[in-house]
Structure 1
């Protein structure tokens, strides 16, 4: 098949590489010229383990290319996957401007006389009802009566975790395909051929709500674990032992994932989707007190981490922070708890240096660049290399993720805030 992918960020780039590796022909579309140039040079626009190799091989075989503007590409495509961002708006609801813009450009480019409908599939997280009440009217306004013949509208949420996106693509926990009538989509079924996972072919709104439920539950588990961890730490109880007991119950406590007391949650999904679910609950008169408390609990935990990490330190002390991205093996800094830690350390007057081998300011693009510029504009002057990190020239070392395992660091100076002992 021929697949167009709109948005070449973390989700779109990973999908492009994986789909092309299956033998499909992929064209990526993104207004960011640097991302387009990276794909056409056979490189991944973002750091994701193994993605460079997939894109390089696909580019060499002529199965992938990228453009910054649409011309007649859609006339040759079977599927168009929309992977553009839906960041948090000022009120917590998703900002849908990118979805609106790309939907208009797609609708205007579709030939109403197509011999077969284009499967227009959205992967961006959106409020339930968005496909029917927001996207479909845009398509119908452009195509008129031909819309139902020229377009098959689909919502297909992704379940990719950064740093393991390729593994997750080929071994997902589930596949969810939402359509207007809840019936099977032949093109989407063909796209996932060969991938063994539970398949849910459902209505559009059920599919749209899936990511809210998943991401909010993941956020619940992280916040719950950290609240219990703080209580344990303040009472002199071993949070590690309590956690071992808790996670042993796989029948009732479900799983051990997201339950280890340690880091606050962050990244591009959990915070914004919790905010959006809060907005939806308030808008519909629902009472979701635990969800409403999640972000406050997360912020409280960030402050707890800062207090723990700086206990006994004097203003002006030399501090090395190991890890800046929201988790290891990614360069994504969006809503990273480590960025908040860095800001707090700087505001408190500490002499800060940061070691994270995955972060290169020159490679930050799009929303990742915008977030970093807004919250940590001095990043280039803070980053140090491995030799400096291991120089023992610091009064304290604060580990925010597993990168510390790779360094020779004086253990007496180390505080690992990524886990509560």
Structure 2
């Protein structure tokens, strides 16, 4: 099949590389010329392990290309997948401006006399009802009565974790395909034909709420684990041993994923989706006291870890922070707890240096770039290479993830924020 992908961020570029590796022809569309140039040069526009290889191979075989503006590419496409961002708005709801803009662009370029409908797939997280009440009217405004024959509207949430996104694409826990009538989509079945996972063919709204349910549950687990960890730490108990006992019960306690006391949650999904669910709950008059407490608990944990990291440390001390992104093997800094830690350290008057081999300011693009410079404008002067991190004597080394295992530092000065002991 020929597939168009709108938005070449973490989700879109990963989907592009994975789909092209399956033998499909992919055309990527993104307004950012840096991302487009990367794809056309055979490189991934974001850092994701293994993605460079997939895109390079697909580019050499002529199965992937990218453009900044749409022309007649949709005429030959079977599927168009929308992966643009839905960041948090000022009220906590998802900002749908990018979705609206790309939908209008797509609608203008769909031929109403197509012989086969274009399967138009949305993967961006959005409020239940958005496809029917927000997206469909935009399409109908351009295509009118031809909409039903020219477009098959689908909502297909993604379950990709950064740094393991390729494996998650080919080995997902589930596949959810939402359509207006809950009917099976032939093109989507063909797209996932080689992937072994449970498939749920459901209505559009049931599919749309899936990511909210999943991400809020993950946030609940992280917040709960960290609160238990803080209690254990204050009682001088081993949170590590308590967690070992807890996760051994797979019958009642489900799994160990996200339940280890350690760092606060962050990244591009959990915080914004929790905020959006809070907005939806308030808008619909639902009482969600547990969900409402998640972000406050997470912020409390960030402050707790800052206090633990700086205990006994005098103002002006030299501090090395190891790890800036929100998890290993990614350069995504959006809502990273480590960015908050760095900001707090600077505001408290410490002399800060940061080592993270995957973060290069010149490679930051899009929302990642905007968030980083809004919250940590001095990042260019803070990052150091591995040699300087290892050679300079620091009064305190703060490890925000397991990256500390890869460098030689004085362990006596180390405070590990990735796990509560």
Query: TM-score, with normalisation over the residues of structure 2?
Result: 1.00
Superposition map of 1:321-400 within 5 A? 321-400=321-400
Return 5+ residue gaps in structure 2 as ranges: none
Residue 63 of structure 1 aligns with which residue?
63
Runs of 4+ with deviation above 4 angstroms: none
Residue 130 of structure 1 aligns with which residue?
130
Residue 78 of structure 2 aligns with which residue?
78
Q: Take 1:140 and 1:25, find their aligned partners in 2: how far apart are those partners?
A: 28
Q: Does 1:405 align with 2:398?
A: no
Residue 175 of structure 1 aligns with which residue?
175
Q: Take 1:193 and 1:331, find their aligned partners in 2: how far apart are those partners?
A: 32
Query: Deviations for 1:12-52, whole angstroms, at most 9, x for unmatched residues?
Result: 00000000000000000000000000000000000000000
Q: Any conservation in 2 of the 1:177–1:202 contact (CA below 8 Å)? A: yes
Per the alignment, in what secondary structure is the counterpart of residue 391 of structure 2?
coil
Query: Deviations for 1:59-88, whole angstroms, at most 9, x for unmatched residues?
Result: 000000000000000001000000000000
Residue 306 of structure 2 aligns with which residue?
306
Q: Take 1:392 and 1:346, find their aligned partners in 2: how far apart are those partners?
A: 19
Per the alignment, in what secondary structure is the counterpart of residue 113 of structure 2?
coil
Q: Take 1:292 and 1:257, find their aligned partners in 2: how far apart are those partners?
A: 22
Residue 157 of structure 2 aligns with which residue?
157
Residue 229 of structure 1 aligns with which residue?
229
Residue 416 of structure 1 aligns with which residue?
416
Deviation (angstroms), 1:205:
0.4
Q: Take 1:337 and 1:329, find their aligned partners in 2: how far apart are those partners?
A: 16
Query: Deviations for 1:208-249, whole angstroms, at most 9, x for unmatched residues?
Result: 000000000000000000000001101111111111111111
Q: Take 2:302 and 2:243, find their aligned partners in 1: how far apart are those partners?
A: 20
Q: Does 1:209 align with 2:209?
A: yes
Superposition map of 1:245-260 within 5 A? 245-260=245-260
Q: Take 1:350 and 1:358, find their aligned partners in 2: how far apart are those partners?
A: 24
Q: Take 1:377 and 1:196, find their aligned partners in 2: how far apart are those partners?
A: 44
Deviation (angstroms), 1:153:
0.2
Q: Take 1:278 and 1:251, find their aligned partners in 2: how far apart are those partners?
A: 30
Q: Take 2:238 and 2:19, find their aligned partners in 1: how far apart are those partners?
A: 46
Residue 23 of structure 2 aligns with which residue?
23
Q: Take 1:77 and 1:392, find their aligned partners in 2: how far apart are those partners?
A: 55
Alignment: residue pair count: 421
Query: Deviations for 1:182-222, whole angstroms, at most 9, x for unmatched residues?
Result: 00000000000110000000000000000000000000000
Deviation (angstroms), 1:364:
0.2
Residue 287 of structure 2 aligns with which residue?
287
Q: Any conservation in 2 of the 1:176–1:207 contact (CA below 8 Å)? A: yes
Q: Does 1:95 align with 2:105?
A: no
Q: Take 1:61 and 1:71, find their aligned partners in 2: how far apart are those partners?
A: 23
Residue 6 of structure 1 aligns with which residue?
6
Per the alignment, in what secondary structure is the counterpart of residue 166 of structure 2?
helix
Q: Any conservation in 2 of the 1:92–1:276 contact (CA below 8 Å)? A: yes
Residue 192 of structure 2 aligns with which residue?
192
CA RMSD of aligned residues (A): 0.5
Q: Take 1:388 and 1:310, find their aligned partners in 2: how far apart are those partners?
A: 22
Per the alignment, in what secondary structure is the counterpart of residue 390 of structure 1?
helix
Please, which moves more after superposition, 234-243 or 134-143?
A: 234-243
Q: Take 1:253 and 1:15, find their aligned partners in 2: how far apart are those partners?
A: 32
Q: Take 1:166 and 1:339, find their aligned partners in 2: how far apart are those partners?
A: 26
Q: Take 2:119 and 2:251, find their aligned partners in 1: how far apart are those partners?
A: 40
Q: Take 1:279 and 1:373, find their aligned partners in 2: how far apart are those partners?
A: 27
Q: Take 1:389 and 1:147, find their aligned partners in 2: how far apart are those partners?
A: 58
Q: Take 1:93 and 1:35, find their aligned partners in 2: how far apart are those partners?
A: 27
Q: Take 2:38 and 2:247, find their aligned partners in 1: how far apart are those partners?
A: 43
Deviation (angstroms), 1:392:
4.5
Q: Take 1:290 and 1:419, find their aligned partners in 2: how far apart are those partners?
A: 24
Q: Take 2:387 and 2:66, find their aligned partners in 1: how far apart are those partners?
A: 38
Q: Any conservation in 2 of the 1:329–1:358 contact (CA below 8 Å)? A: yes
Per the alignment, in what secondary structure is the counterpart of residue 419 of structure 1?
coil
